[in-house]
A and B are shown apart, each in its own frame.
Chain A
Amino acid sequence: MNTEIQSKNMPRYINPYFGGVLLGLLLLATFFITGRGLGASGAVKSAVVTTVDRVAHQHAEGSTFYSKFLTDNHSPMYSWMVFESLGIFLGGLISGVLFGRLKKLRTEHSPKITSKTRLIAAGIGGILFGFGSQLGRGCSSGAALSGTAAFSFGGLIVMLFMFGTGYLVAYFFRKLWI
């Protein structure tokens, strides 16, 4: 019953094809202005590099991975991706306020599972996604969307295998959603 009441009060989303056209035009503008596409996972990487550098500076400097992103003149947080991702958060907030979806903290889950199960799954999913995004050279935004739209072969590979694997394993995790 509760979900029914919620869905009746829930404001509608914009038409998906209209949203797609807007996203396509935004991505085109991004390529026109910056020469590169949009991204999302890069900001978290900057946060990881910054945290490790603060907590264990020598370890970070000695690592072939962290040292790639460390420079003497500024923090890794001072990057294009971090500001863009801050924008994603703000844009989501503006839309949430405008459509009345900004509410107190809550967990969205299927009636078949508890909030706790949902949160554990979200955590595991995040860990896998974060790890995979490094091997994939970007996530759904940077590699699959921006990569493919700029005709990158690697971008198309990430898109195909990300969604392909999703469909392959979806059956085993159906209790989480339906």
Chain B
Amino acid sequence: MGPLIPQGIITGEWDFVIALLLGIFFGFILEASGFSSSRNITGVFYGYNFVVLRVFLTAVVVTMIGLLYFNYMGWINLDMLYILPTYLTPMIVGAAIMGLGFVIGGFCPGTSYTGVAIGKLDAIVFTAGLFLGIFVFSEAYPLIEGFYNSDAMGRITISEFIGVSNEVITFGFVILALAAFWGTWLIEKRVRKTITEYKFD
């Protein structure tokens, strides 16, 4: 039966209402988890606060298990899901630039919107930076179009790339997540003892 909109079960006129509602839940979860604060977010890179890793990996694992379960029950057709296409080298370079921006800017786009919502001036400046960065990319597009479209691998999944089933990949992520939760919990305890610049509640 699912996905509902691509199957025509919910018609297009509800698109924007659904978009707004899903966005409200998304923004609420991000802000309530502490992502409206850049110093909470960057804690993941310095070991004093791993909230980003905890929320992120938990969400990935829950969604993966949910999708497999829905597929098994016949509630969703996984073949109709949008699989982000892979352009290997451009994506590696893009992700590296984003990683640099993450550490310098302290936000990512979604989290910066929630920072703007509660009155963080640094989030407003970050969002303005996003606008400028995308504008520069758009204007430079003719120069980088070749690179942008290079290394296209199509809508390949992790499972297809490695050659195992989605179930095995999900199991691997569960193990990885549990190990990461335990390891970062130990690191966080040690780092917090030595840090004085940042107070924790």
Per the bound structure, the CA–CA distance linking A176 and B122 in Å amounts to 13
> Which chain B positions have C-beta within 8 A of A91?
23-31, 114
Chain A interface size band reads 35 or more
Per the bound structure, the CA–CA distance linking A162 and B52 in Å amounts to 13
> Which chain B positions have C-beta within 8 A of A130?
101, 109, 129-137
Q: Is the CB of A178 within 8 A of B36?
A: no
Q: Is the CB of A153 within 8 A of B160?
A: yes
Smallest CB separation, B56 vs chain A (Å): 7
Name B4's contact: one of A32, A84, A103 (CB within 8 Å): A32
Interface: B74 (CB within 8 A): no
Smallest CB separation, A70 vs chain B (Å): 12
Q: What's the tally of chain B residues with a CB closer than 8 Å to chain A? A: 134
Per the bound structure, the CA–CA distance linking A160 and B94 in Å amounts to 12
Nearest B residue (CB) for A59? B139
> Which chain A positions have C-beta within 8 A of B135?
48, 51-52, 130
Per the bound structure, the CA–CA distance linking A84 and B19 in Å amounts to 4
Name A105's contact: one of B82, B98, B121 (CB within 8 Å): B121
Sampled A-B contacts (28; CB under 8 Å):
A24-B61, A66-B138, A80-B19, A85-B23, A88-B27, A88-B110, A101-B36, A119-B122, A121-B105, A122-B129, A123-B129, A124-B129, A125-B101, A130-B137, A133-B134, A134-B134, A136-B91, A140-B109, A149-B63, A153-B156, A155-B84, A159-B95, A161-B99, A165-B99, A166-B100, A166-B102, A169-B99, A177-B46
Residues of B at under 8 Å CB distance from A? 2-6, 10, 15-16, 18-34, 36-40, 42-46, 48, 50-51, 54-64, 66-67, 70, 75-76, 80-88, 90-138, 141-142, 144-145, 148, 153, 155-161, 166, 169, 181, 195, 197-201
The 5 closest A-B pairs by CB, nearest first: A125-B105, A87-B23, A126-B129, A20-B58, A130-B133
